[in-house]
Amino acid sequence: LEGAAAVEGMMQRDGLHPTAEAQPTLLENVWPILEPLLAGP
């Protein structure tokens, strides 16, 4: 949740779940890790 958790409006009221606005930031953080795994052997 780096780049989203502490930014107002990026987390839902429950403080646990990101909003739709946070999704691009989360994708930027996780894609470099996921892409090689999804590419296969």
Examine the pLDDT at 1 and tell me if it is beyond 80: no
Domain spans of the chain, in order of start: 1-41
Q: 13 or 5: whose pLDDT is higher?
A: 13
Helix or strand run (H / E) with residue 27: helix 23-39
Q: 14 or 2: whose pLDDT is higher?
A: 14
pTM to 2 decimal places: 0.71
Q: Measuring CA to CA, which residue among 32, 27, 19, 41 is closest to residue 9?
A: 19
Mean pLDDT, residues 8-23 taken together: 92
CB distance 5 to 11 below 8 Å: yes
pLDDT class of 18 with cuts at 50, 70, 90: very high
CA atoms of 6 and 29, how far apart (whole Å): 15
Using CB atoms within 10 A of its CB, is residue 18 exposed (0-12), middle (13-18) or buried (19+)?
A: middle
CA atoms of 14 and 16, how far apart (whole Å): 5
pLDDT class of 3 with cuts at 50, 70, 90: confident
